[in-house]
């Protein structure tokens, strides 16, 4: 297993096991146990995946010590307010049954509050403020992830805007550009919201590489496609 050393001295595995779209608790728990048994040390979940408790149960049953694992979860967009984010973090920790978390991920979809609200139902001003507060606190590692969605934010100007903002956050070293896919459509159904991206095609590899180079041109961040 290869690792990268973060600026706080913590080693993070370069490969991990994710549990997106594994809502069945028993199936998820067994999958995580099998992944750990196969050598995976980074386990990735999220509040929106509805399986943090199953991940936590697998960690407890695993023979691997907690300090040898790297556990990540993510903030759900509906909890983007300051108080909402604090409560969401505490809820995730309780469900996981952990004393500490290695990485808390926050997705940033757009720098324009109005357009962000149009597509997600909430403006992004509080989310950006929370990112600043978390970065300044120095209490956890923060990686900015950007779902790249054609017709919404897949432009050089927008990606450079996000990269420039991320570059101002203390301790933030990585920007992950995530190519759009339709796997998140079920989340909108679950929230009773209209899916506004129906018919949108994923960005091409060439388009993603162009955006990666654009982000690198205006920041000192490590920019990668996927994450």
Could you give the CA distance from residue 145 to residue 109 in angstroms, rounded to a whole number?
8
Instruction: Tell me, yes or no, if 49 is annotated catalytic.
Output: yes
Question: Among residues 49, 82, 100, 195, which one is catalytic?
Answer: 49
Residues 45 and 60 sit within 8 Å (Cβ to Cβ): no
3-state secondary structure of 104: strand
Q: How far apart are CA 181 and CA 178, in angstroms?
A: 9
d(CA 108, CA 153): 10
Residues 225 and 137: their CA atoms lie apart, in Å, by: 27
Say how far apart CA 80 and CA 153 lie, in whole Å: 19
d(CA 212, CA 87): 33
Residues identified as active-site: 49
């Amino acid at each position: 297993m290869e690792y990268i050393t973060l600026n706080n001295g913590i080693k993070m595995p370069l490969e991990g096991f994710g549990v997106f779209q594994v809502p069945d608790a028993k199936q998820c728990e067994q999958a995580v146990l099998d992944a750990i048994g196969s050598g995976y040390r980074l386990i990735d979940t999220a509040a929106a995946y509805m399986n943090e408790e199953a991940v936590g149960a697998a960690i407890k049953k695993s023979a691997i010590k907690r300090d040898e694992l790297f556990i990540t979860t993510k903030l759900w967009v509906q909890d983007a307010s300051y108080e909402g984010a604090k409560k969401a973090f505490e809820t995730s920790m309780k469900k996981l049954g952990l004393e500490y978390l290695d990485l808390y991920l926050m997705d940033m979809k757009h720098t324009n509050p109005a357009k962000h609200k149009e597509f997600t139902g909430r403006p992004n001003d509080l989310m950006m403020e929370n990112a600043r507060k978390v970065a300044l606190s120095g209490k956890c590692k923060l990686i900015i992830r950007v779902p790249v969605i054609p017709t919404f934010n897949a432009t050089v100007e927008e990606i450079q805007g996000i990269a420039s903002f991320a570059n101002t956050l203390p301790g933030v070293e990585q920007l992950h550009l995530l190519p759009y896919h339709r796997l998140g459509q079920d989340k909108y159904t679950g929230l009773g919201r209209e899916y506004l991206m129906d018919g949108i095609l994923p960005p091409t590899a060439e388009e993603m590489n162009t955006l990666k180079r654009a982000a690198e041109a205006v920041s000192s961040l490590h920019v990668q496609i996927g994450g």
